[in-house]
Amino acid sequence: MSSPAQRDLDFDFELKLLLDAIFHKYHYDFRSYAGASLKRRAHVALKRFGFDSISQLQDRVLRDPKLFTDLLGYLTVQVSDMFRDPAYFKALREKVVPYLSTYPSIKVWVAGCATGEEAYSIAIMLAEEGLLDRTLIYATDINPECLRSAEDGVYDVDRFARFSANYLEAGGRASLSDYYSAGYSSAVLDRALKKAILFSDHSLATDSVFAEVELISCRNVLIYFERELQDRAIGVLRGSLCRRGFLGLGAKETLRFSSHVHAFNELLPDERIYQKL
């Protein structure tokens, strides 16, 4: 019988091998994700799938793409709310929208959109500011299941009380209920919002610049990366922004530790909104 410490080392070792295997087989690169949180999620996945070891899981994952898709759901984080951190959306509306409105056409990128809550929040805000009909929002994620569900724009009706409170606190001009139709247990967002959003697959770990945009919102994505991968990702974001374009990060994310820090001005430090120089 191996000691707990030994089993733990084995877990680390096997997890590293699993990530290598996933990269070679499925081209998803988790190898430079921050270890502590990834390991925690791998433990949860192992338990749910009922495998004794990561090696057993690896054996199956390599032969069963469906199981890989399920695993992806555990390895990526999908927690999000509409208008999460209302102060951030309020700052976008009051301080960034006036700049955006000077462009004849606007492109926005929500990087790491998970199930779409933030992309729809931005769409609603831009609609209220009269800009949505000349805006295209790219909403990207690495998880195809998330993208599908984001595209549906269907959420539990229970969540809308919190969404609505956030919306009002974020400076919403109407009522959030103007933008969805509620059924018995779920609510679906308006078709007009969906038309402005292009959901697609993109990885900040392996893909590169695909468009030039005026605003990027990439919140609570970088915290899951090691510093080196953060830097790569920020490089992609930087390369995608037009001159004087805006970058919004999560409430506890910063460019301070990045080699790209000098390419940005800290426009609104409290809301973590940067402007490219």
Partner 1 sequence: MSQAIEAIAIGGSAGALDALTMILPALPQGYALPLMLVLHIPPNKPSYVPEVLGLRCALRVKEAEDKEDLAPGTLYVAPPDYHLLVEKRRQLSLSADEPVLFSRPAIDVLFESAADAYGPALVGVLLAGGNDDGARGLACIKRAGGVTVVQAPHSAAVRIMPDAALAMSSVDYTLTPSELGMFLAKVGERPLGLMEVR
Per-residue x/- track, 22-41, partner 1 (CB under 8 A) = ------------xxxx-xxx
| Contact flag: residue 253 with partner 1 (CB under 8 A) | yes
C-alpha pair distances (Å), 189 with each of 64, 131, 165: 34, 18, 17
Q: Which is nearer to partner 1, 198 or 223 (CB)?
A: 223
> Quick one: residue 122, left, alpha or beta (phi over 0 = left, psi -120 to 50 = alpha)?
alpha
79 lies in the binding site for partner 1 (CB under 8 A): yes
Told to check if 252 binds partner 1 by CB under 8 A, we report yes
Q: How far is the CB of 271 from partner 1 (least distance, A)?
A: 13
Which CB, 25 or 39, lies closer to partner 1? 39
Tell which positions 217-246 bind partner 1, by CB under 8 A: 220, 222-224, 226-227, 230
d(CA 90, CA 234): 24
Unique residue bearing structure tokens 């009922």:
50
Q: How far is the CB of 183 from partner 1 (least distance, A)?
A: 25
Least distance (Å) between residue 111 CB and partner 1? 15
* From 77, 136, 157, 168, residue interacting with partner 1 (rule: CB under 8 A): 77
Output the DSSP codes for 194-218.
Answer: HHTEEEEE--TTT------EEEEEE
Closer to partner 1 by Cβ: residue 77 or 136: 77
Helices 65-75 and 4-26: crossing angle in degrees, nearest 10, is: 120
Rule CB under 8 A: say whether 266 interacts with partner 1: no
Q: Report the SS3 class of residue 274.
A: strand
- With CB under 8 A as the contact rule, the residue among 17, 251, 261, 265 that binds partner 1 is 251
- Taking the least distance from each CB to partner 1, the nearer of 114 and 131 is 114
The residues pairing with 33 across neighbouring beta strands, listed in sequence order, are 225
Q: Give the interface size with partner 1 as a residue count (CB under 8 A).
A: 25
Choice between 35 and 98, CB closer to partner 1: 35
CA distances from 8 to 58, 189, 204, 227 (A): 17, 45, 30, 24
Instruction: Tell me how far the alpha carbon of residue 27 is from its chain's centroid.
Output: 19
Binding segment toward partner 1, per CB under 8 A, in 1-9, 21-29, 137-145, 198-206 = 1-9
Buried-state track 232-249, b at ≥16 Cβ within 10 A, e below 16: bbbbbbbebbeeebbbbb
CA 137 to chain centre: 14
1 binds partner 1 (CB under 8 A): no
Site residues (CB under 8 A) for partner 1?
Answer: 4-5, 8, 34-37, 39-41, 77, 79, 220, 222-224, 226-227, 230, 250-254, 257
